[in-house]
Amino acid sequence: MILLISDLHLESKRLDIVQAFLHFLETHASKAEALYILGDFFEVWIGDDAMDSFERDIAQALRALSLKGTKIYLMHGNRDFLIGHAFCRQAGCTLLPDPTVIELQNQRILLMHGDSLCTQDEAYMRLRRWLRNPFSRWALSALPLTTRRKLARKLRNESKMQTRQKAMDITDVTPAEVEHVLRENKAHILIHGHTHRPAIHSFELDGHPARRIVLGDWDRYGWALTINGESMTQDRFELAT
C-alpha cells in the first residue's frame, strides 16, 4: 500500500491539522510501504536554518515513521520550495524532483506538486520562474532570517489577495499542459496537488484512457490517496476538534 498526500500547510497556528497529521502517521501511514508528500507540506519555509521546535518535532515524527519501515518521499511545493537536505536528513525522507515518475503495477505514474501546470496564471508563472532560479534561491538563503520572514509574509499575503481576485479557470491547471507533461514523461496517470480541488478526472490521451488525480488540501478535512495494487481511492476524513 502506498499513500499520497499534499497541501497540509503545516503551521503552529493550526494545531488541529498538526494533530490530525500526527495521528495519520501513527495509524494509516505506519501500515504503508511508502508515503509521498507532494508539496506545500508546510505553510511557509524560509530555509533549513530557520527550523525551530515546531519543525523539528515534525521531522522527528517523520523519522519515527521511517524507522518503522515506511519510506518517505517529499516534493517541494510553492510554499516550501526552500526545504533542503538538512531537514530531510532529520526527517528520514528523500527529496524528490518535480516532476517524478514512479512505476507501479507496470504503469508509469507522474507525480507533481501541480503549480507548474497552471500556465494561464501568467503573473504567477513569472514569479515561479524567478523564485526557482538557482541564483534567486541562493540570494534568498543569504538574506537574514528576519528579512526572509518579512518577505515570506509579504508574498503569502499578496498570493492570497491575488488568488481571490483571479478567475477559477486561471488558478486551475491548463488541460493542454497536462497532456504535454504526460506525453513528455510517457505516462497516462498524473497525481498532483496545489489547486485544492480534489477530484479524479478521466479523459483520453492519444487514443488511450488517462487519469488526473488531484489530491485534497488539509483544512476542514484531511485527505489521502491510497494505492493498493491496481486500486486507487481518495479518502476524506474530518479533523478532530
Q: Could you tell me which residues come within 8 angstroms of residue 204 by beta carbon, excluding any fewer than 6 positions away?
A: 210
Q: Which of 55, 63, 68 is nearest to 27 (CA)?
A: 68
- 106 marked among binding-site residues: no
Residue 212 known to bind ligand? no
Q: Is 7 marked as a binding-site residue?
A: yes
Q: Is 166 annotated as a binding residue?
A: yes
Rounded Cα–Cα distance for residues 71 and 41 (Å): 16
Strands 221-228 and 199-205: unpaired
Q: Which residues of 103-112 are buried (b: 16+ CB within 10 A; e: fewer)?
A: eeeeeebbbb
Ligand-binding site membership of 201 (annotated): no
d(CA 111, CA 36): 9
- 172 annotated binding-site participant: no
- Any binding-site annotation on 188? no
- For residue 31, say whether it is annotated as part of any ligand binding site: no
The reply, when asked if residue 78 is annotated as ligand binding, is yes
- 53 labelled ligand-binding: no
Residues flagged as binding site for Mn(2+)? 7, 9, 40, 78, 113, 194, 196
Instruction: Tell me the binding residues.
Output: 7, 9, 40, 78-79, 113, 121, 159, 163, 166, 194, 196
Question: Which residues line the annotated binding site for substrate?
Answer: 78-79, 121, 159, 163, 166, 194
